[in-house]
Structure 1
Amino acid sequence: MLIDTVAWVRVEGGRILCARPRGKDVFYIPGGKREGAESDLQTLLREIEEELAVRILPDTVAHVGTYESGGPGLPDGAVVRMSCYTGDYRGRLAVSGEIEEVAWFSYADRPLVPPVDQLLFDDLKSAGHLA
């Protein structure tokens, strides 16, 4: 079983934006699952507006990597695929919809995110983007 997701990678000052959904104790890279035949871009724009109340500027979006991992809390044999994109935004970041809290994580916070997100943290750290 493949869980296909799209995520927004927003790094500022050596920290990456993470979000915690309502009722959960785990932080994730903001984003989510596509609906129907949505493209990665359509999914990214919709999910980020729903979760963080900002608009991603489509002409600034760039793919930074795709990661796959199993992990705790997933059905047996399930793998999460996370296609990651950067992009500028318009608006003010705010929790919205199903998001209860946002936080800016450094590499030291890596254990607080799921295994697939940890792969992104590793790449960002090795590229010198995460403190």
Structure 2
Amino acid sequence: MSVLIDTVAWVRVEGGRILCARPRGKDVFYIPGGKREGAESDLETLLREIKEELTVLLAPHTAVHVGTYEAGAPDLPSGAVVRMSCYTADYEGTLAVSSEIEEMAWFSYADRPLVPPVDQLLFDDLRAAGKLN
């Protein structure tokens, strides 16, 4: 039986680079976001996770779904798949790392090998759309 890891991610691209974050104790960068809690909607998950991770408030009325991606990963159990529902949204506040996040960085397409397989699919689409340098 396969395991589905259901996540929601915030896609923030500025100047041809995408915002990525590295959680404390990990050596991998991810698109900011996280796992749904209980019966949360995508939007509720997105707002909560981004506030927790990057200390900014997303504007719910500006959220737009830009794609959903699925991929396995070498560090996951066999048959496990990560599903990442991706949204853009405007934000209020100043981007800053929280207690959960050790580092944030703006990645270009050249940084693609530094993110997990499901994030790489998003990088490919953003590159194809001319949004990622």
Of all paired residues, the percent bearing the same amino acid is 82
Distance in 1 of aligned mates of 2:132 and 2:78: 32
Task: State the TM-score, normalized to the length of structure 2.
Answer: 0.98
1:113-124 correspondence runs (5 A): 113-124=115-126
| Correspondent of 1:86 among 85, 88, 91 | 88
Task: Report the Cα distance in structure 2 between the residues aligned to 1:75 and 1:119, rounded to whole angstroms.
Answer: 20
Q: Which blocks of at least 5 consecutive residues in structure 2 are unaligned? A: none
Give the ranges of 4+ consecutive aligned residues of structure 1 lying more than 6 Å apart after TM superposition: none
Partner of residue 18, structure 1? 20
How far did 1:97 drift?
2.7
Q: For residues 79-99 of structure 1, what are the alpha-carbon distances to aligned partners after superposition, in whole Å with 9 as ceiling and x for unaligned? A: 000000000000000000310
Please state if 1:37 is matched with 2:52. no
Aligned to 1:77: 79
CA distance in 1, matches of 2:114, 2:121: 13
> Residue 112 of structure 2: SS of its match in structure 1?
helix
The answer as to 2:51 corresponding to 1:68 is no
Deviations 1:62-91 (A, max 9, x none): 000000000110011100000000000000
Matched, 1:107 2:123: no
TM-score by length of 1: 0.99
Unaligned runs of 5+ in 1: none
Q: Matched residue pairs, number?
A: 131
Alpha-carbon RMSD = 0.4
**Using the alignment, how far apart are the partners of 1:117 and 1:130 within structure 2?**
13
- Determine the C-alpha separation between the residues in 2 that align with 1:71 and 1:24: 15
- 1:126 is aligned to 128
**Structure 1 position 52 matched with structure 2 position 54:** yes
Tell me how far apart the structure 2 counterparts of residues 72 and 102 of structure 1 sit (CA, whole Å): 23
Three-state SS of the structure 2 residue aligned to 1:130 is coil
Taking the aligned partners of 2:78 and 2:24, their CA distance within structure 1 comes to 24
Matched letter for residue 49 of structure 2 = E
